[in-house]
Each structure stands twice: as C-alpha cells, then as structure tokens.
C-alpha cells in the first residue's frame, strides 16, 4: 500500500473515531431503538479531510441505563437451586442482557425483595426474601445502583432491610431509597460519572408491611422530594434522576396522581424519572412544565419500566404484559466550555422473560426481544418454542406502542439522517 493512501486511510479512520465520539454514530450499540435529537451532520467528504488545526474540545458524554422490577418469586428460587452444590445460581437469568447493561456507564434497577438471609427462610409473594446470589447476579450483569424504595422493602422488617443494604454494599452495589441509620436519612447519592455529576434519588408510595417506615424507607412526599432535589443541586448535581415506585398495578397507562407528581418533580428539577411497580410497561414521555418564573423546563418520564424479571406471565397470572420489560438508555452530554448538560439521544430495548423447562427444572432468562425473534427465524430456535416466538412478536408491538412518542422522534431523526 502506498504511503499516501495509508495516511489518508489513517486520517479517515481517526476522523470517523472522532466523529463517532462527537456525534455518537455507534449509539445503536446501547439500544435497539434510539432517537437522536439536535443537529445531524451531512458531509460526505469529511472522512478524507484532515481534522482542523484547532479542534474543538470533545463534549463529555456518558450513558445511563434503567431496568424495571427484579422480582424473585418462589418458583424462581427453586429454579435457581443447584442441589449438587447446595447453592443458588441466578447468573443465567441475565446472560442475554449483560453485554448491553455492561456497555453503559451507569445502570439502575429496582430490587423488589429483601435479602434477609437463609435463617429467615427464602420466600416469594407476599413476603419476599431472596438468596444473596440474586444480588451477585445483578452486580455481574452490570448494574451499579439498586433501588430499595418499594412496597416490599420491609417484608422482613427493619433487620431485613438492614441486611439487604449491608449485603449490597459488601459486593459493590449502591443501594438507594432505604436508610441504614438515622445519620443517613438525608443523604443524597451524588455520583461522578465520567466527568458529569449525577444525583440518583428513590421513593416509594408506601410499603406492604405494618412497620413504620421512618428512617427505613424513602416515602413519596412532595416537600421532601423538592428539598432533596434542591440539596442535590446545591451539592453540584448536573443531572437528577429519580427512581419512583408508584402507579396502579397491571395498568398500562399512568393514573392522574403519577402524571401530577411527574410534572411536580420536573418542576422541582428532576431530569429523568424512572417509574416502577405496575409490573407492566407504561408509556415513555417528554414532559414540559411551566415554571412560576414563566420559563419552561422539560424532563423525561417512563411511567413504568415493567417487569425485568419475575414469575408473572400469562400462565401464572392469566394476564398479558407482565412478562415484559425494557432497558431504557440515555446519552447525557456536557459541553466542556459552557458546562451545559443535554440529552442528545434516548433509546430503548424491549426485553421478555423466557421461562422454559429443561434438564428437569425451570429456567428464567431475560431475553432481548428482537434477538430472540431473529434467533427463532434463523431456524436455530434454541429453547424457544413456537408459542414463545408468537408471544415475542406481540411483546415487540406492545412495547413499541408504549414508546410511540419516542418512536416518532426516531422516525424524524432517521429521516434527517438520510
């Protein structure tokens, strides 16, 4: 190869890498459906031109992912049990999604069980107590932050939630939304992720058990949320994400209380609202609110991320929709000169819990819906049955329906790119 051709090629590759960093051509890596916002580039010759002498400082860019409820019902505990080793194994559940979750800078989920220890006896609904191995699998799947603000947080009382917090911390996960001691009750989780300060808060509408929640679980209270967000911003948070456990179970649309609270939180300064609890996916939306100052402020809300994993499905609950969830991803950017924060891309990846019987026991795997469909259609169905395939096709449609507002943006940005 001639030297000149080689140098042009190197420049082309470098420019592509630079452009990729700037404009994120590889965003599809993070999710199946991505809507990109803002300007797009149209310059076919740019790849062979040398980069300008004084190149602009690169924007700081990070990615955040969120998944919904991680439930551990008794049949899942049985399925995870390995009689030979007398241990529990949950890694298989996350095998198909871990590449995606590991690829982002910060991943958040909701753990809807406590880890009260084997002495208390493992149990599913209505008082959840799961083996510690579920947390290990969550960590290995790539999650960083785990919300413990949900209605099952006190299923095994104060000692149950204390042990859960301690265990999660011991393996390097960051629990939020529950309180280990009174001194921690006003703590705000502020994370430095790749040069961006991000606060993550969590609240639940309440708990199922009769224990008083004070100094144990973070409860929805508008005044408290406003105060926490203000405090996070005082501490230097450039972006505020709120994990919130709310809504009506099994309803595919948010209720009025959710809508009102979402608006309030965005008014208070929240940027991203991650809903959980309904066990089905509720819509994603961009919400714009008018501030008392006359300015407007916008934020993004997913009213419910659905079930990430559970034993809920058509067979066990005689209900559709409870077998699916979504991994929602945000690309967050900071202008290195102005410090301005923007969200140039949002994506989602539909997931489905594939439950199947093999080698004498049940298996649960969170699969990426489109990958599983392709696998089946390729003639190598693996453990997928025809019924699974038909359900997967439905799930894809059902999920896209809940992301119609984002798909609209996606359609627009695809048109612009062409």
State the SS3 of 296-360: EEEEEEEEEEEEEECCCCHHHHCCCCCCEEEEEEEEEEECCCCCCEEEEEEEEEEEEEEEEEECC
Number of residues binding to Zn ion, judged by CB under 5 A: 3
Residue 243: count other Cβ atoms within 10 Å of its Cβ: 28
Q: Which of 73, 277, 334, 355 binds Zn ion (CB under 5 A)?
A: 277
CA nearest neighbour of 275 among 286, 260, 289, 262: 262
Q: Give the C-alpha separation, 120 to 163, whole Å.
A: 12
Among residues 247 and 347, whose Cβ is nearest to Zn ion? 247
Residue 342, interface with Zn ion (CB under 5 A)? no
CB 160 within 8 A of CB 120: yes
- From residue 178, alpha-carbon distances to 64, 116, 182, 188, 224 in Å are 22, 14, 11, 11, 14
| Radius of gyration of the CA atoms of the chain, in A | 22
β-strands 239-245, 189-193 pairing:
unpaired
Binding piece for Zn ion, criterion CB under 5 A, among 261-269, 277-285, 315-323, 373-381? 277-285
Residue 73, interface with Zn ion (CB under 5 A)? no
Site for Zn ion in 43-62 (CB under 5 A): none
Among residues 108 and 237, whose Cβ is nearest to Zn ion? 108
Longest CA span, the chain: 77
Residue 32, interface with Zn ion (CB under 5 A)? no
What track of x and - describes contact with Zn ion for positions 100 through 139 (by CB under 5 A)?
----------------------------------------
Among residues 326 and 392, whose Cβ is nearest to Zn ion? 326
To the nearest whole angstrom, how small is the minimum distance from the Cβ of residue 152 to Zn ion? 6
Among residues 31 and 204, whose Cβ is nearest to Zn ion? 204
To the nearest whole angstrom, how small is the minimum distance from the Cβ of residue 307 to Zn ion? 10
Residue of this chain nearest to Zn ion (CB atom): 277
Residue 248, interface with Zn ion (CB under 5 A)? no
To the nearest whole angstrom, how small is the minimum distance from the Cβ of residue 245 to Zn ion? 6
What track of x and - describes contact with Zn ion for positions 132 through 151 (by CB under 5 A)?
------------------xx
To the nearest whole angstrom, how small is the minimum distance from the Cβ of residue 317 to Zn ion? 14
Among residues 151 and 405, whose Cβ is nearest to Zn ion? 151
Binding piece for Zn ion, criterion CB under 5 A, among 41-49, 223-231, 276-284, 401-409? 276-284
To the nearest whole angstrom, how small is the minimum distance from the Cβ of residue 110 to Zn ion? 8
Among residues 150 and 399, whose Cβ is nearest to Zn ion? 150
**Segment (H or E) for 390:** helix 386-402
Among residues 148 and 384, whose Cβ is nearest to Zn ion? 148
CB 348 within 8 A of CB 27: no
Among residues 100 and 244, whose Cβ is nearest to Zn ion? 244
Burial class of 147 by CB neighbour count within 10 A (0 to 12, 13 to 18, 19+):
buried
To the nearest whole angstrom, how small is the minimum distance from the Cβ of residue 59 to Zn ion? 37
Binding piece for Zn ion, criterion CB under 5 A, among 272-280, 313-321, 325-333, 374-382? 272-280
Query: Could you give the 3-state DSSP secondary structure of residue 45?
Result: coil
To the nearest whole angstrom, how small is the minimum distance from the Cβ of residue 242 to Zn ion? 16
What single string gives the DSSP state of each residue in 218-270? -B--HHHHHHHHHHHHHTT-SEEEEEEE-S-TT-SS--HHHHHHHHHHHHHT-
Among residues 197 and 276, whose Cβ is nearest to Zn ion? 276
Among residues 163 and 277, whose Cβ is nearest to Zn ion? 277
The C-alpha angle 94, 240, 148, rounded to 5 degrees, equals 45
SS3 content of the chain, % helix, strand, coil (to 5): 35, 30, 35
Interface with Zn ion (CB under 5 A): 150-151, 277
């Amino acid at each position: 190869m001639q030297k000149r051709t080689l140098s042009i090629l190197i420049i082309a590759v470098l420019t592509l890498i630079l452009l990729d960093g700037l404009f994120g051509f590889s965003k599809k890596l993070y999710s199946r459906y991505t809507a990109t916002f803002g300007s797009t580039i149209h310059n076919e010759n740019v790849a062979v031109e040398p980069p300008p002498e004084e190149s602009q400082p690169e924007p700081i860019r990070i990615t955040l992912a969120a998944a919904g409820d991680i439930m551990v019902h008794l049949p899942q505990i049985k399925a995870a049990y390995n009689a030979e080793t007398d241990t529990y194994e949950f890694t298989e559940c996350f095998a198909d999604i871990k590449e995606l979750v590991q690829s982002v800078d910060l991943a958040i989920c909701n753990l809807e069980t406590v880890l009260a220890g084997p002495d208390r006896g493992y149990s599913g609904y209505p008082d959840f107590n799961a083996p510690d191995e579920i947390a290990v699998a969550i960590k290995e799947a790539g999650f960083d932050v785990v919300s413990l603000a949900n209605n099952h947080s006190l299923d095994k009382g104060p000692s149950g939630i204390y042990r859960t917090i301690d265990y999660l911390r011991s393996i390097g996960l960051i629990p939020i939304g529950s309180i280990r001691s009174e001194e921690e009750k006003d703590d705000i989780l502020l994370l430095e992720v790749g040069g961006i300060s991000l606060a993550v808060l969590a609240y639940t509408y309440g708990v199922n058990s009769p224990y008083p929640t004070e100094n144990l679980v973070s409860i929805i209270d508008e005044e408290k949320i406003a105060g926490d967000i203000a405090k996070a911003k005082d501490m230097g948070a450039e972006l505020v994400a709120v994990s919130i456990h709310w809504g009506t179970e099994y309803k595919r649309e948010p209720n009025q209380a959710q809508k009102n609270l979402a608006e309030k939180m965005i008014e208070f300064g929240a940027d991203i609202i991650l809903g959980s609890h309904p066990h089905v996916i509720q819509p994603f939306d961009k919400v714009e609110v008018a501030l008392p100052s006359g300015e407007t402020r916008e934020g993004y809300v997913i009213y419910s991320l659905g079930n990430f994993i559970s034993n809920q499905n058509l067979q066990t609950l005689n209900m559709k929709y409870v077998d699916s969830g979504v991994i929602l991803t945000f690309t967050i950017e900071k202008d290195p000169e102005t410090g301005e924060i923007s969200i140039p891309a949002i994506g989602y990846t539909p997931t489905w819990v594939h439950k199947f019987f093999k080698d004498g026991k049940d298996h649960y795997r969170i699969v990426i819906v489109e990958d599983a469909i392709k696998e089946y259609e390729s003639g190598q169905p693996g453990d997928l049955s025809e019924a699974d395939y038909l359900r997967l096709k439905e799930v894809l449609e059902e999920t896209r329906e809940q992301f119609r507002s984002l798909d609209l943006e996606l359609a627009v940005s695809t048109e612009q790119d062409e």
